[in-house]
Structure 1
């Protein structure tokens, strides 16, 4: 019998098992996206500007959310009430006092990437101030401040001169302001006081766990762990709270008092940041130009 000629290995192999040759049409195909882009009426249109990733473009997009003027630091004196003769009602209000508020430094786009004014308030013994911070105040030709804060402004027109004093007359009666301050700290609190939990039943097998939190999370369903952000017992309060659209009812410039409508978070004596309200029209107040201050003499 003549010897059998060996056939190629793919002669009797099914087509399914053979490698598929890459043709010109297949080479253009890519991996199909699981989340293809969807139509959105907010990002499609002929008149929409092209977004840019430069810092100048970011500042341009946020212009309408940054006040043109700087704010001020004040101390919460307490609450009182004023009588409104128009509505014949007793209006609760908060008294804020400005104590030696001065401009300490500037932040510019060229050096820091944004425009801001650094403001200091109060006073502090120079012996209790660190040397770097003492040199910072000396360069600005201002006395050491107890509180220092920063206020964003829209442009260089809102930069006040270094060393300039901000009085209560910076705010006008009838305008609206936003206040930011830390709320009153209440220490360690349970779940019922801190988050408003209803508590467990008073009977039906409950034993000494009437105000306890209960289950902190599922076992297998959530990965046998307590998920981050779970509402539990802990320290309550002492967090920054922003209260918007408070109307300035009265301004006493000689005594440095600004009376605003409603309540401001925090205990008496806390520091409060006041600035023009974001959701109200900007007050029509001219900002004085920047005055170049003389450099302090070296000792």
Structure 2
């Protein structure tokens, strides 16, 4: 699956050919450097390692810097591997740009880390409705989870019960979005709909199986 690494900038809207306003997410997708190519013969599977977004060399370890030096690349902040993606005619040290991988109208998946919301209750985490009836003696149960299990049978709480806990800060993939526009001079890709993570967060743009 081919793909590139991007940084979420924010949301805006564009007009389509019929004059309809389409909400889009703006993603910065600078040129990615191929820092390693893995093949079935040497690694057991086919993949390409892409590195993007500049990072100061003093902020990486010597081993990491040596990896970039071997590829003839400056040190980068984000390194991602895309399996079963071997761009034809390109080798280690070459660059891939958004227009080399995507075209307007392509259907893609976007993966990233969702916003971390800390420890939240059942209403925010699982969309419980709460009691909602304050006039019948419910003064402290409005946002409580309610009953979570039986009494003497089964005498325990089943695993997987919807309760309060850590919310967000997990890998999320949003499928079947489409590329609305590619602004090559600014290294921007406009994607229909919303994608995971906060503004400034890194995301992976994953295209459907292609000729690569």
CA distance in 2, matches of 1:236, 1:158: 42
- Which residue does the alignment assign to 1:129? 60
CA distance in 2, matches of 1:232, 1:158: 50
- Specify which structure has the bigger relative contact order, considering alpha-carbon pairs within 8 angstroms and separated by 6 or more residues: 2
- Which residue does the alignment assign to 2:96? 166
Q: Any unmatched runs of 5+ in structure 1?
A: 1-66, 288-299
In the superposition, the TM-score normalised over structure 1's length comes to 0.64
In the superposition, the TM-score normalised over structure 2's length comes to 0.88
- Which residue does the alignment assign to 2:13? 81
Compared with structure 1, are the counterparts of its residues 176 and 225 closer, same or farther at alpha carbon in structure 2 (3 Å cutoff)? same
Higher strand share: 2
Shift of 1:119: 1.1
Note if 1:262 corresponds to 2:193.
yes
Compared with structure 1, are the counterparts of its residues 159 and 208 closer, same or farther at alpha carbon in structure 2 (3 Å cutoff)? farther
Shift of 1:216: 2.8
Shift of 1:74: 0.5
Which moved further from structure 2: 209-218 or 254-263?
A: 209-218
CA distance in 1, matches of 2:106, 2:112: 20
- Which residue does the alignment assign to 1:27? none
- 3-state SS of 2:65 partner: helix
For residues 99-152 of structure 1, the C-alpha deviation after alignment (integer angstroms, 9 at most, x for no partner) is: 342111122222332111111111212121112212211211111111111111
Shift of 1:239: 1.8
Compared with structure 1, are the counterparts of its residues 157 and 184 closer, same or farther at alpha carbon in structure 2 (3 Å cutoff)? closer
Partners of 2:25 and 2:195 within 8 A in 1: yes
Compared with structure 1, are the counterparts of its residues 151 and 231 closer, same or farther at alpha carbon in structure 2 (3 Å cutoff)? same
Partners of 2:106 and 2:178 within 8 A in 1: yes
Partners of 2:30 and 2:98 within 8 A in 1: no
- 3-state SS of 1:226 partner: coil
- Which residue does the alignment assign to 1:274? 205
Q: Any unmatched runs of 5+ in structure 2?
A: none
1:187 aligns with one of 118, 124, 145 = 118
Aligned residues: 210
Shift of 1:189: 1.1
- Which residue does the alignment assign to 1:216? 148
RMSD, aligned α-carbons: 2.2
- 3-state SS of 1:88 partner: coil
- 3-state SS of 2:185 partner: coil
Structure-to-structure mapping, 1:58-69, within 5 angstroms: 67=1
CA distance in 2, matches of 1:77, 1:159: 31
Q: Which has the larger radius of gyration?
A: 1
Partners of 2:174 and 2:195 within 8 A in 1: yes
- Which residue does the alignment assign to 1:294? none
